[in-house]
Amino acid sequence: MSAVPSSDPDLRLPLLSSAEEPARKPEKGPVDVQKLTIDDMLQEHCGEFGTWQLRHFVLTCLAWALEAFHTMVMIFADREPEFRCLGPGCDEMAKSVCGFEPGSWVWVGGAGSSTVAQWGLVCGEKYKVGLVQAVFFGGCMIGAGTFGHLSDSMLGRKGSLTVVCLLNAVFGCLTALAPDYWTYLVLRLLTGFSTGGVGLCAFVLATEPVGSSKRGVAGMSTFYFFSTGIALLSGIAYIFPSWRELYIASSIPSILFLVIVLPFISESPRWYLVRGRINEAMTLMRTIAKSNGKHLPDGVVLALDEDVNESYVNEQSDKQGFAAKEAITGSVIDVIRSPVTRIRLVLAVAINFMCSVVYYGLSLNVVNLDTNLYLNVVLNAVAEMPAFTITAVLLDKFGRKPLTIGTLWFSSFFCFAGCLMGGAGIWKVVRMICGILGIFGMAGTYNLLFIYTAELFPTVVRNVALGCATQSAQMGAILAPFIVVMGGALPFAVFASCGFVGGLLAFYLPETLNRPLYDTITGMKQGEGGLSGV
């Protein structure tokens, strides 16, 4: 029998080479996707501090100047103006109008020059000036905790910043219309409530998109805006000598910030991530990379610290991109529940409290110099700037922990020296110099503690923890005026003790230099090796 012809198509089909066979679609399977934390993505693909971060940082930190306006306006609005004698019963050389005959003197600038002149807050009523200051800082303490929680949860960083700036503008303008002292006090309480969240939200929003190696210097630089705001306020107060006009003039910038600046500020990618809004976070990271002249590959995706060890994600993500995850929230209860964050919170609260007592106490002592008030405020603000610069330069060289201890003890040393000096002759000048050097060191500490405290806690509870630290600082600010009232060498002795104890407590904090910003408490425990007490 003859062989079957090879031209038979039925027999030739199995012999076709693979190149001649129709292409087959590969079966769907898991897609290899690289998971990165935000710090890793910034470092490898987006840039740690490029054009985008610089623009975002500057715009966001303008809010610090607004906080300076609303906080330090009391120096000018609540000042005791000079007086002028009209006849017998008045002594031109006296430092107070107490005991003068009614009608024998008038306030220079009229009754509208300050709240003291408006409502007669002198002599037996002088305590009301201190009461307003204490109430304002009390409002700051409440507001810091409130907006610290809201910015970590439903409102976000940008949403909270929007709310506090709006409230500041409203309450500031209403304060100018206060008909009596007690209305004025209530409005200052409300202004303090909103002001307490301004610096907190602005700091976190400005520094969270910055890479870990640049975050320290960036965080330290935020306080230049606060000091600049104080200096600018002095000029505004000089132009508007009436306290009512001053409150309006110092509140208008908050309105301008809301209208002109805030629309160009983005939400924090870290907040998007912990809230499970992966798509928004990835979109923002691509924008950062593009603005910085970088390229973010399609094969990378953001993940929380505790998820970065997973190598694959299922291709069956939702049609809009990577599947949205369940939002992760945290509260102060979560901070206290974890041994790692609990110890850090207690130490951060105590150190911030003591630092604030010294900083605000020494600031009030400087204001007591018998010179031009406007010039004093400017010089006080300018004197803090070298401390910011030196601390920022040394921050990444020596680390957060050694610098915190060093600045606290530097200030403590000069405060202790000040309490040993007499109050007359050359020793009075030496004591003044000791006070300036003390506030120089504490200004650096106060600046450093913001970045240090922020790095000690994960994203999910960062603003809550920072809010608690800020609240403790406000308690120190409330206490400081009462310490200053003691007079003599005692205030310097108290300030020296606070600085020394604060330095001792800082020994128990961990170093955070070049450490990642963790997203969750679980991720922090894993990253820190599960060690408690650090």
CA–CA separation, 178 and 184 (whole Å): 5
Q: How confident is the model at residue 248 (pLDDT cuts 50, 70, 90)?
A: very high
Give the residue from 154, 212, 201, 204 showing the smallest Cα distance to 37: 212
Distance CA 337, CA 353 (A): 22
3 state DSSP class of 34:
strand
If DSSP codes are grouped into helix, strand and coil, which group holds residue 242? coil
Dihedral, 250, 253, 254, 260 alpha carbons, nearest 10: 180
Q: What pLDDT sits at residue 371?
A: 58
Q: Does pLDDT of 314 surpass 50?
A: no
The encoded tokens of residue 103 equal: 């009608």
pLDDT band at 174 (very low <50, low <70, confident <90, very high): very high
Residue 243 CB coordination number (10 Å): 27
Alpha helices in 109-155 (DSSP H): 115-119, 127-152
The answer to whether 49 and 314 have CB atoms below 8 angstroms apart is no
Residue scoring higher pLDDT (182 or 517): 182
Is 90 exceeded by the pLDDT of residue 62?
A: yes
Task: Check residue 522 and give its pLDDT.
Answer: 75
Closest CA to 476 of 382, 376, 363, 379: 363
Q: Indicate whether 296 pLDDT > 70.
A: yes
In the chain, % of residues over pLDDT 70: 84
Which one has a higher pLDDT value, 499 or 47? 499
Computed over every residue of the chain, the mean pLDDT equals 80
Tens of pLDDT, residues 460-485? 777 778 778 877 888 898 888 778 76
DSSP type of residue 371: S
CA-based end-to-end distance of the chain: 91
In the block, residue with structure tokens 């409150």? 247
Q: CA-CA distance, 405 to 476, in Å (whole number)?
A: 19
Q: Which is higher by pLDDT, 423 or 273?
A: 273
E-strand ranges in 46-166 read 83-85, 105-107
Flag whether pLDDT at 313 surpasses 60. no
196-244 tens-digit pLDDT: 888 888 988 898 888 877 877 787 788 889 889 988 999 999 999 899 9
Q: Tokens 């005959």 label which residue?
A: 101
pLDDT at 438 > cutoff 90? no
Q: Is the dihedral of CA 493, 494, 495, 501 positive or negative?
A: positive
Confidence (pLDDT) at 331: 66
Write down the pLDDT at residue 17.
Answer: 43
| Residue 111 burial by Cβ neighbours in a 10 Å radius (0-12, 13-18, 19+) | middle
> Cα–Cα distance between 61 and 467 in angstroms, integer?
18
Residue 259 has pLDDT above 90, yes or no: yes
Looking at residue 117, its amino acid is: A
Q: Would you state the structure tokens that stand for residue 74, as one six-digit string?
A: 């009391």
Cα 209 from Cα 426, distance rounded (Å): 51
In which band, very low, low, confident or very high, does the pLDDT at 329 lie, cut at 50, 70 and 90? low
76-106 pLDDT tens trace: 888 878 878 877 777 777 777 777 777 777 8
Which region among 4-8, 110-114, 123-127, 182-186 has the lowest average model confidence (pLDDT)?
A: 4-8
> Of 484 and 353, which is predicted with more confidence?
353
Rounded-to-integer distance, Cα 147 and Cα 159, Å: 10
Query: Coil, strand or helix: which one is 418?
Result: helix
pLDDT at 271 exceeding the cut of 80: yes
Reply yes or no on whether the pLDDT at 265 is more than 70: yes
pLDDT in tens, 358-412: 988 887 765 555 557 787 778 778 878 888 888 878 887 888 899 999 999 999 9
| Amino acid 277: pLDDT | 85
Decide: 435 and 303 in contact? Cβ < 8 Å: no
Q: Return the sign of the alpha-carbon dihedral for residues 147, 335, 71, 135.
A: positive
Rounded Cα distance between 72 and 117, Å, is 19
Of these ranges, 108-117, 169-178, 304-313, the one predicted with the greatest mean pLDDT is 169-178
In the numeric block, which tokens belong to residue 485?
């009232």
Tens of pLDDT along 8-40?
Answer: 544 444 444 444 444 444 454 455 677 888 888
Arithmetic mean of pLDDT, 418-437? 76
User: What residues pair up with 83 in beta bridges, in sequence order?
Assistant: 107
106, 83 Cβ separation under 8 angstroms = yes
